[in-house]
Copies of this chain bind each other. A is one copy, B any other.
Amino acid sequence: MLSTSVEIRVRYEETDQMGVVYHGKYFTWFEVARVHLLDRIGFPYSELERKGFLLPVLNCAAKFRAPALFDDRLKVEARITDIPVARISLDYRVSRKDVLLAEGGTTHAFVSKEGKLVRPPKGFLRGVELCMHRQTSSQSSEELT
């Protein structure tokens, strides 16, 4: 499966008076990781939109194991879990060093500016597959080392 990760630093604005990050903010971090993943496939989200493709969220979920705190440096991983046809599903993991803080998932539709369901842009599936292949290869070679 195709995955990637970004590092984020927790902003004060993202905390609430419980002294931890507000649960709704994790979906913004998932977005940051998703955007990064689309970059890697060669379909930056800003370009997708310029070409008339939108990716509205059909559903989203998160499960929290331990709180994220102000100033934490977190790793946010995004992974495509379903080969996209008219939809694309991703899951996410947020961790501080080796501690898993939260997991989540989102499903998106490919939609035109007029709001109609459309197929992903040409080459998108191929991009996902190429990246997955490259990733598998590099993982295999890492394992050999």
Chain A residues with a Cβ under 8 A of chain B: 9, 11-13, 15-20, 22-25, 27-28, 31-32, 35, 44-46, 49, 54, 56-64, 67, 70-71, 106
Copy number of this protein in the oligomer?
4
Contacts of A17 in B (CB 8 A): 12, 15-20, 49, 70
Contacts of A71 in B (CB 8 A): 35, 44-46
Contacts of A57 in B (CB 8 A): 23, 64
Are B56's CB and A31's CB within 8 A? no
In the complex, the chain B residue whose C-beta lies closest to that of A65 is B58
Are A13's CB and B35's CB within 8 A? no
Are A23's CB and B18's CB within 8 A? no
